[in-house]
Amino acid sequence: MSEAVAQRPRKVKADLPERLSWQSNRRRLVTVYLPLLCFVFVLLFPFYWMTVTTFKPNAELYNYAENNPFWVRSPTLANINKLLFETSYPSWLWNTMLVAVCSTVLSLVASVLAAYAIQRLRFRGSTYVGLAIYIAYLVPPSILFIPLATMVFQLGLFDSPLALILTYPTFLIPFCTWLLIGYFKSIPYELEECALMDGASRLQILWRITLPLAVPGLISAGIFSFTLSWNEFIYALAFISSSENKTVPVAILTELVQGDVYQWGALMAGSLLGSLPVAIFYSFFVDYYVSSLTGAVKE
Say which residue, 22 or 137, is predicted with more confidence.
137
Whether residue 71 lies inside any domain: the answer is no
Reported confidence tier of residue 69, pLDDT bands at 50, 70, 90: confident
pLDDT at 288: 65
Tell me, what's the pLDDT at 10?
54
Residue 164 CA to its chain's centroid (Å)? 18
Q: Which of 17, 36, 61 is the last residue of a domain?
A: 61
Summarize pLDDT for 140-150 with one digit per residue, the tens.
Answer: 877 887 888 88
> If you average pLDDT over every residue of the chain, what do you get?
83
Q: How many CB atoms lie within 10 A of CB 15?
A: 10
Shared domain check, 85 and 54: no
* Total number of domains constituting the chain: 2
150 & 254 share domain: yes
Whether the predicted pLDDT of 7 surpasses 80: no
Do 84 and 36 fall within a single domain? no
86 shares its domain with 126: yes
- Please write the tens of the pLDDT for every residue from 203-239: 888 888 888 888 888 888 888 899 999 989 989 998 9
* CA 258 centroid distance within chain: 30
Whether 56 and 83 share a structural domain: no
Last residue in a domain, options 30, 61, 92: 61
> If pLDDT is split at 50, 70 and 90, which confidence band does 296 have?
very low
Nearest to 188 by CA among 117, 120, 110, 128: 120
Gyration radius (Cα) of the chain, Å: 27
Lowest mean pLDDT among 9-18, 45-54, 94-103: 9-18
Whether residue 98 sits in one domain with residue 13: no
Query: Are 87 and 53 within one domain?
Result: no
Residue 148: CATH number of its domain:
1.10.3720.10
Q: What contacts 142, CB < 8 A, 6 or more positions away? A: 234
The pTM (predicted TM-score) of the whole model is 0.81
- Domain residues for the domain of 110 are 78-294
Contacts (Cβ under 8 Å, ≥6 apart) of 51:
268, 272
Same structural domain, 222 and 183: yes
Helix axis angle for 215-231 and 169-185, nearest 10°, is: 160
Same domain, 124 and 159: yes
Give the integer Cα–Cα distance in Å for 30 and 40: 15
What is the DSSP-derived secondary structure letter of residue 73? S
SS3 call for 262: strand
- Residue 134 CA, chain-centre distance (Å), reads 19
Domain assignment of residue 73, yes or no: no
Residue 62, pLDDT above cutoff 50: yes
Which pLDDT belongs to residue 119? 84
pLDDT in tens, 88-124: 999 999 999 999 999 999 999 999 998 988 888 877 7
The reply to whether 145 and 207 lie within a common domain is: yes
Same domain, 252 and 164: yes
- pLDDT band for 297, please (50, 70, 90 cuts): very low
